[in-house]
Chain A
């Protein structure tokens, strides 16, 4: 009962000084919007790149590359533009002038070489200011050439097995057929792609968990503020237990954290089109994240000398954990030790849990992530209880 009274008083104060609105809603929503605007073009499926292609060969294999590989990429919107030009020089010039990001030049004799086993190569010319587009072009050409080589190898093997040389024109006729045969094994990218959060959702979630670590301070830090204001003495002199004072502050943090996260989930869904996934799963992750933030906040409150010092410490810890946990950049893509280290943060697990939901998982899929996040808060908060007594002094 006393804890409820203290929490109600604290929340009234926080709403009145508007700090809760600023840190809990305005700042994270604003940053999520900025981040998603900045990174959506990179993180999405569409590539903002333009290619040119000059077919100097005109053969069957070259036509397949232009018509069945490049052209569909443009038509499906995966590439911004695929421009077919008449000469190699024109293609190279377009790339040099940054009219396109990269150009493919298919040399004369390419198809013949592909069918006859000779040597030929697709030339890729990238604009110097578009290194990523150049890499994409290299990858596309490399993939196609690899496939040609595989078909060539397959045909060579076939004619070796049947014990005769191909008739004139026979190999040329067999190449398109061979290329049309479905590959016996492949890579199913559906699961990986669907587990990847859209930029809007990713940065909405990232900012939400970053700022919940700052929002919860308005409850727990109240312990230090009460001490500095002299009102702690009044609370301790009142006929209530000391635990009720701590519980009241914890309750304030919990309510502010949950409400702020809930508003952000709803706000980013409506305003940014974020897709958070299964509501119950999101709710469990949100509750766990708030507990984790409270745990850290209790540690800070237990060791800091003043409310100001605690606020600064909490901000530093919040931002370091957020950076390590991938709130600003998907750290898991860096790989190696840093990617593994990021998994000590609740942030990384929170985003991972949301990824599981985005993959279509039900509420149960978030349990491992939620369990780790909540345990993080309970362990840190539990450790803080050994020192919190020093704050409960007049």
Chain B
């Protein structure tokens, strides 16, 4: 069954005087889908997000969230969006609970439903025990979690996370990524910007590679890899007459090339996860004993390098 689209962004453009920050950016996100905008600092990710959530007036293009147009002047339509900005945006003089209650009120939550939802979010972000403490006294990781909690408080249809793990310790980072995975699994559409390739690979169903204000390529990780012609590398540590097994291995569907060394075989494969079983069967059939298998899949870093000619963290 086709999933319903939550966000449709078409032909977005934004210029600041002579600098065109975003040009002709289009993408869409369905419910339960996590879409990653992957690009280095200054690529146009935040400008794109700001246009999508109605913080910034666009020069051209359309944004529909849940079928309703989003502009800077929109009010009700924005209720479908949850926003987690890159920098921590909380009130340090207010407690964690007061921060959540204030933003909950702005999104129209009141009374017992609000109190219940605040408790729920405090539990989710692991701050229930510190709910009455002023957020200014929190550690960086706790502030980050509260920052995210505010974004999900009103159960938005679309959650925007703008580089939420920048400057976060590994433990908090992992907790954040797990939260995003859970939200996506629960049906929330997620737009996630990052310049960390590993995060995009882990979280995102589809990724848009953005650089210099435009999307260079878009698709699943496998699609992107295929797009640039990169192959998976499979290395078999084995014993036996390795060179004699090469014809059988080359005959396996998806295997593009096979070479033999003294104690290993190296194969270039379209999609290693699909071909691996047949490769092992062919090796066994050729009388080869396989001791270990290493699969080296081309990552988004390589794709990005191929598409833009520069590394993600340039």
Contacts and interface: CB of A to CB of B under 8 A. Distances in A.
A230 B89 contact: yes
B87 interface: yes
A394 B89 CA distance: 11
Interface in A224-250: 229-231, 233-242
Interface string A36-70: 00000000000000000000000000000000000
Contacts of B93: 12-13, 16-17
B73 A233 contact: no
A5 to B, nearest CB: 5
A239 B108 contact: yes
B85 A234 contact: yes
Contacts of B50: 233, 394
A215 to B, nearest CB: 18
A240 B106 contact: yes
Given A233-B55, A234-B89, A234-B150, A239 B78 contact: yes
A131 B78 CA distance: 73
20 contacts: A5-B102, A9-B94, A9-B102, A12-B93, A17-B93, A233-B55, A233-B83, A234-B83, A237-B53, A237-B81, A238-B78, A238-B107, A239-B78, A239-B79, A240-B75, A240-B106, A241-B73, A394-B50, A394-B56, A394-B85
A230 B107 CA distance: 18
Interface string B69-108: 0001111111101010101111101100010001101111
Contacts of A5: 102, 105-106
B55 A394 contact: yes
Nearest to A241: B75
B183 to A, nearest CB: 18
B40 interface: no
B87 A235 contact: no
Given A2-B106, A230-B85, A394-B50, A237 B55 contact: yes
Interface string B224-238: 000000000000000
The A interface is mostly helix, strand or loop, or mixed, namely helix
Interface in A377-394: 393-394
A234 B91 CA distance: 11
Contacts, number: 70
B103 A238 contact: yes
Contacts of B76: 239
B54 interface: yes
B88 A242 contact: no
A12 to B, nearest CB: 7
Contacts of A240: 75, 106
Contacts of A242: 72-73
Interface in A345-394: 393-394
A236 B83 CA distance: 10
A234 B103 CA distance: 9
Given A12-B93, A13-B91, 8 more contacts: A229-B89, A230-B88, A231-B90, A231-B91, A233-B50, A237-B78, A238-B103, A239-B78
B152 to A, nearest CB: 13
A237 B53 CA distance: 6
Interface residues of A, number: 22
Interface in A1-49: 2, 5, 9, 12-13, 16-17
Nearest to A2: B106
A394 B73 CA distance: 14
Contacts of B150: 234
A174 B120 CA distance: 103
Contacts of A394: 50, 55-56, 85
Contacts of B81: 237
A315 B74 CA distance: 36
Nearest to B57: A393
A2 B75 CA distance: 11
Closest 9 CB pairs of A and B: A230-B89, A239-B79, A237-B83, A238-B106, A230-B87, A239-B78, A13-B93, A394-B55, A231-B89
A179 to B, nearest CB: 74
B75 A239 contact: yes
Nearest to A233: B85
A230 B76 CA distance: 22
Contacts of B89: 229-231, 233-234
Output the residue of A233, A237, A239 with the most chain B CB within 10 A. A237
Interface in B9-29: none
Contacts of B88: 230
Contacts of B94: 9, 12-13, 16
A234 B90 CA distance: 9
Contacts of A17: 93
B95 to A, nearest CB: 10
A233 B53 CA distance: 10
A231 B76 CA distance: 19
A2 B50 CA distance: 22
A16 B77 CA distance: 34
A16 B95 CA distance: 11
Interface string A199-227: 00000000000000000000000000000
A238 B108 CA distance: 10
B288 to A, nearest CB: 59
B91 A239 contact: no
A17 B91 CA distance: 12
A107 to B, nearest CB: 77
Output the residue of B73, B74, B88, B89 with the most chain A CB within 10 A. B89
A253 to B, nearest CB: 18
A238 B83 CA distance: 9
Nearest to B162: A233
Contacts of A233: 50, 55, 83, 85, 89
A236 B55 contact: yes
Nearest to A14: B93
Contacts of B105: 5
Contacts of B106: 2, 5, 235, 238-240
A394 B49 CA distance: 11
A229 B92 CA distance: 9
Nearest to B84: A234
